[in-house]
Amino acid sequence: MSTERDSETTFEEDSQPNDEVVPYSDDETEDELEDQGPAVEPVQSRVSREAEQSRETFRKDCTWQVKANDRSFHEQPHFINTKFFCIKESKYANNAIKTYKYNAFTFLPLNLFEQFKRAANFYFLVLLILQTIPQITTLAWYTTLVPLLMVLGITAIKDLVDDVARHKMDNEVNNRTCEVIKDGRFKIAKWKEIQVGDVIRLKKNDFIPADILLLSSSEPNSLCYVETAELDGETNLKFKMALEITHQYLQRENSLATFDGFIECEEPNNRLDKFTGTLFWRNTSFPLDADKILLRGCVMRNTDFCHGLVIFAGADTKIMKNSGKTRFKRTKIDYLMNYMVYTIFVVLILLSAGLAIGHAYWEAQVGNYSWYLYDGEDSTPSYRGFLNFWGYIIVLNTMVPISLYVSVEVIRLGQSYFINWDLQMYYPEKDTPAKARTTTLNEQLGQIHYIFSDKTGTLTQNIMTFKKCCINGQIYGDHRDASQHSHSRIEEVDFSWNAYADGKLAFYDHYLVEQIQSGKEPEVRQFFFLLAVCHTVMVDRIDGQLSYQAASPDEGALVNAARNFGFAFLARTQNTITISEMGAERTYNVLAILDFNSDRKRMSIIVRTPEGNIRLYCKGADTVIYERLHRMNPTKQETQDALDVFASETLRTLCLCYKEIEEKEFEQWNKKFMAASVASTDRDEALDKVYEEIEKDLILLGATAIEDKLQDGVPETISKLAKADIKIWVLTGDKKETAENIGFACELLTEDTTICYGEDINALLNTRMENQRNRGGVYAKFVPPVQESFFPSSGNRALIITGSWLNEILLEKKTKTSKILKLKFPRTEEERRIRTQSKRRLEAKKEQRQKNFVDLACECSAVICCRVTPKQKAMVVDLVKRYKKAITLAIGDGANDVNMIKSESCARSQRNLNC
């Protein structure tokens, strides 16, 4: 029945997964994928009718409303929600965060509840109750109460110490200070006092207290540099830029105090790289995106001060939305101890029952004739046997080890200190020892079967180095002198002729420098000029030396390479960029920047030269560049051969190209570009369409090859882990080509490895599912399942799968459902039954598919999941734990790894052991 799919999650079976696209957001549930209802109509008389009409377009998706400098606005009745019975709470969270488990009122009941979930503790509680009954007690009640209180007390004190540490960390964060507009001026306020709609001021090296809209800063064009290590593990700086109108009018304290802007944006979610909203101010609407938002957890660098408007606070911030739910983890020792205690219970009950039956029999046969037994004269033997059953339970209570759990906790505490004192885990370069954050999971470290690791900053140092390049079909980067003769003796290129060289680039091809200096081939100079002009890097001067701040380490490495080869990026404004070309400074007008994203996989810049010519410079992945090249490109094949060589050396590659643009052509295109850049809806799609019109018929210049350095000892460590039969799964958000290259670099993959991709895995799983259906039938439940392998026993195999294919394979792919189909019609009992059966079949199919995927993946020596979201990382970990019952270890260094770490049996963050 077609109507059976109206309220179920649907799967896009006809669409092919895109390897380059990060799949749907973690927050996109079925209900959120549907069209949302209208939001509450705000009263904003200052906004013009045109702005009000444009706001209607946003109301479907943007229901979060923020008004600057107006706390009373967010306290209106329609923003108050009923949370529990009659307790009401504002939809806008305050900025205080809570990571602790207990408070003064909940500690005793919650802690006792957790402790009595342990079988031994619950047993002695029941025993204590039995000992208060005079008819059955054989021991004084305090003989059980005292040891029980000692056990409960020691464990409670340990839990209290752990939770007090959490309280201290929360208090330290919540009591940090920043400047907030109050009563028309900036005043010092604690983070926990900040509310949505407040205007705040931050200074250099300050942590950002909430998710804020950047209004202005001390830098030109209100730029702001932030370090996002707490979010994504990357230490390189990223820059944000305020709207031009807020930069122009919101620099002074009095103007910030009277700022009354109104924002409508998306609801709080965990998408770190996306934001959609609109600012309504001065009778005009201004589109907002992620480039104008500063997220909580970032640190402001290289910016004296900045001003911002709080949009999300506390638990609503993106970093807190990524933290996931805290799960109580139990080890195999915990389960084993519970199993032992349950076994002892059974033995104790059977033994007590046997003794009670024997006692009843003896009473019936002998007891009544014994003149020295008086207590049973008025009771039947069976009743006396019943009472003695409980008496024996009390007498034999020593069979249950009450101190077992405490002994294990003490051992774990000692192990945690040994971990902290381990000199082999000490990192001298940063004076960082290992630190066990908790004592719950220590013994799991020696039982690990699977390791799940992030890539960036974990396997790699996230430090890029320019190694080779291909210009006009010629490969440069080998050990050659100025006459193109190869030498076995390694001699670095001397860049002392260049005043802007930083002296850090190790390059060995002297012939390339000779080509640049001679100027015989203009393409060589054009190549490095493109690297110096086509980027989003910001420059700063420290002690007279240039210092580049790049949003991407790849981009920073390329701009640094151009600098060393004579084309130094010196300065930029919103409309110009200044380059030193072999010592001569030239300034170019920037007409447009065509941004990079994961869909486009390229970036372009359009500049006007001092001579008046207009040129487009573009760099990007070879797959997208080659589709847009002019058909007359003589070096196309030579460059492709060079790319293959670079890929075999596990180098990261980019293609460079350019295009001359006529004045009339640019004017026509610029009108479309300006219209798309201010579009209220689907702005990204509109811009992409406009970009496509100009990025065609490009002239290929060449390709770059850079190396992503591994952490020290990674290949050796992976080799030793493989010998211990520990399998490594890499879960990363990087693109497939990059992840595959790193796999070869760290020797997870070798030349002998057969790599299976998403489409291969999907075909194998479809075949297996079909075979399982064919074997099914009336007698399927009586036939034992056949455990057959997916691959032959011989050979070394690895799996590389993207997030989109992962959703396809695991049947997690969701799509929007039609509002027409969601109409609720009365259903008969038969329709409900069919619907329920359909749901059960779908769930059974999904479960079987996921189990097959885990079985297949575990047959591979290595698994690399790329372009995956934080939720998918956690899902993969959970599947392995569920179907393999294995001990697992997670390694990560960013907020995108938190979900994965919380799903783990054991976890490691940077150099701190979360065990």
- Report the CATH number at residue 638: 3.40.1110.10
**Which residues does 22 contact at the CB level (< 8 Å), separation at least 6?**
598, 733, 803, 867, 868, 869
Cβ–Cβ < 8 Å for 592, 614: no
Distance, CA of 705 to CA of 646 (rounded, Å): 6
Same domain, 411 and 532: no
Catalytic residue check, 540 = no
**What are the tokens at 641?**
């051969």
Residues 560 and 669 grouped into a single domain: yes
The secondary structure element, H or E, covering residue 146 is: helix 142-174
> Taking Cα atoms as reference points, which of 754, 734, 656 lies closest to residue 22?
734
Q: Is there a single domain that holds both residue 531 and residue 665?
A: yes
How far is 837 from 849, CA to CA, in rounded Å?
18
pLDDT for 86: 65
3-state secondary structure of 690: helix
897 labeled part of a ligand binding site: yes
Give the ranges where 520-609 is alpha helix by DSSP (H).
522-533, 553-564
Express each pLDDT in 506-561 by its tens digit: 888 888 888 898 888 889 999 999 999 998 887 877 777 888 877 677 888 999 99
> Token pair of 15, please?
């669409």
Residue 424 placed within a domain: yes
Q: Is 203 flagged in the annotation as binding?
A: no
Task: Using alpha carbons, select from 266, 260, 210, 203 the residue that is nearest to residue 58.
Answer: 266
Cα–chain center distance at 857: 22
In a domain, 213, yes or no: no
Domain's final residue, options 709, 740, 758: 709
Q: Is residue 378 part of a domain?
A: no
Same domain for 428 and 520, yes or no, is no
Whether residue 555 is annotated as binding a ligand: the answer is yes
Annotated catalytic residue: which of 206, 232, 454, 509? 454
State whether residue 85 is helix, strand or coil: coil
The CA-based dihedral angle spanning residues 872, 876, 879, 880, taken in that order and rounded to the nearest 10 degrees: -170
Same-domain pairing of 748 and 796: yes
Supply the DSSP symbol for 441.
S
Dihedral-angle region of residue 471 (phi above 0 means left; psi in -120 to 50 means alpha; beta otherwise): beta
Q: Structurally, how many domains does the chain consist of?
A: 3
Using the Cα atoms of residue 349, residue 351, residue 355 and residue 361 in order, give the sign of their dihedral.
positive
Residue 468 lies in a domain: yes
Q: Check whether 893 is labelled as a binding-site residue.
A: yes
Q: Tell me the C-alpha distance between 662 and 615, whole Å.
A: 9
Q: What is the pLDDT of residue 900?
A: 66
Q: Decide the pairing of beta strands 185-190 and 199-203.
A: unpaired
The distance of Cα 365 from the centroid of its chain, to the nearest Å, equals 74
Closest CA to 737 of 815, 644, 667: 644
Q: For residue 86, give Cα distances in angstroms to 82, 91, 241.
A: 7, 15, 44
Q: What integer pLDDT is reported at residue 848 of this predicted model?
A: 86
CA distances for 698 relative to 603, 614, 631, 640, angstroms: 13, 14, 9, 16
d(CA 121, CA 402): 7
Phi and psi at residue 366, in whole multiples of 5°?
-120, -40
Measured CA to CA, the distance from residue 683 to residue 263 in angstroms comes to 17
> Looking at the structure, do residues 478 and 511 belong to the same domain, yes or no?
yes
For residue 391, being part of any structural domain is answered with no
Say if pTM beats, i.e. exceeds, 0.85.
Answer: no
Where the chain has pLDDT below 70, the residues are: 1-62, 82-86, 232-236, 324-330, 366-378, 456-457, 462, 481-489, 551, 598, 678-681, 734-735, 776-787, 813-827, 893-915
pLDDT of res. 779: 47
Residue 79 within any structural domain of the chain: no
380 labeled part of a ligand binding site: no
Q: What is the model's pLDDT at position 866?
A: 82
Distance (Å, rounded) from C-alpha 276 to C-alpha 58? 9
158 marked as part of a ligand binding site: no
Which of 595, 591, 633 minimizes the C-alpha distance to 616? 591
pLDDT of 308 reads: 94
Sign (positive or negative) of CA dihedral 227, 232, 234, 240 = negative
Q: Tokens standing for 650?
A: 């596990």
| One domain, residues 700 and 554 | yes
> Do the annotations mark residue 896 as ligand-binding?
yes
Question: pLDDT value at position 806?
Answer: 82
CA atoms of 222 and 215, how far apart (whole Å): 8
What residues pair up with 180 in beta bridges, in sequence order?
187, 200
- What does the chain come to in residues? 915
> How high is the pLDDT of residue 673?
87
456 is in an annotated binding site: yes
Residue 766 lies in a domain: yes
Residue that is last in its domain, among 447, 474, 504:
447
Q: Are 431 and 866 in contact (CB under 8 A)?
A: no
pLDDT of residue 509: 86
Domain end call among 709, 724, 746: 709
Asked whether residue 540 falls in the same domain as residue 680, the answer is yes
pLDDT for 118: 77
* Whether residues 617 and 558 fall in one domain: yes
pLDDT, position 763: 86
Shared-domain flag, residues 637 and 716:
no
What is the rounded distance in angstroms from the CA atom of residue 255 to the CA atom of residue 753?
A: 64
Contact 817, 879 (CB under 8 A): no
What amino acid is encoded at 827 in this protein? R
Give residue for tokens 């790329």: 866
Helix (H) or strand (E) holding 301: strand 299-301
In a domain, 24, yes or no: no
Beta strand 906-909 with 887-892: parallel, antiparallel or unpaired?
A: parallel
Question: Is there a single domain that holds both residue 743 and residue 703?
Answer: no
Q: Is 236 labeled as ligand-binding?
A: no
> Are 512 and 622 members of one domain?
yes
Q: What domain range is 753 assigned to?
A: 711-772+790-812+843-909
CATH number reported for the structural domain that contains residue 875 in this entry: 3.40.50.1000
Q: Are 316 and 90 in contact (CB under 8 A)?
A: no
pLDDT at 785: 57
- CB 602, CB 640: distance < 8 Å: no
C-alpha triplet 674, 678, 680: angle, nearest 5°: 145
Q: Residue 733, annotated ligand binder?
A: yes
What pLDDT shows up at residue 665? Answer: 92
> What is the C-alpha to C-alpha distance for residues 566 and 665, in angstroms, rounded to an integer?
32
Q: Is 504 annotated as a binding residue?
A: no
Task: Specify whether the CB–CB gap between 827 and 776 falls below 8 A.
Answer: no
State the pLDDT at residue 18. Answer: 61
Q: Of 561, 681, 632, whose CA–CA distance to 264 is shortest?
A: 681
Distance CA 912, CA 915 (A): 9
Whether residue 652 is annotated as binding a ligand: the answer is yes
